[in-house]
Amino acid sequence: MGEIWRSLEMVEFFDLDVVIEYTLLLENATTAAKVGFFLEQHKEALMVEASHLDPLRARRPRKPHYLMRGHRGGRLVSNWNLVVPLKVLERSWQEVV
């Protein structure tokens, strides 16, 4: 997951309206939550506003879903009903070893 996260972080600009429109067209609550969570985590860099996040939040799962399939554990991010691994929340891949 860290590799995907880092790859997305390298993108300097997203057409947020297109990203959100496409996400909503998929009609998948988990995908809406994952996209919303990512955008919220990068709110400043991507200039994400509440008007971008609200439609995604309205489509989030009713019950908690895991951010990563097959990965158990993590912390519940209630805004998105996602259980997120600690290494994603803490962005531990950015630490110099």
Residue ranges per domain, the chain? 2-94
pLDDT at 3 over 70: no
CA distance 74 to 76: 7
pTM for the full predicted model = 0.83
C-beta neighbour count of 16 within 10 angstroms: 16
* Range with top average pLDDT, 1-5, 7-11, 45-49: 45-49
42-90 tens-digit pLDDT: 899 889 999 999 999 999 999 999 998 877 779 999 999 999 998 888 8
pLDDT at 11 over 80: no
CA distance 81 to 3: 23
In this prediction, residue 91 carries a pLDDT of 72
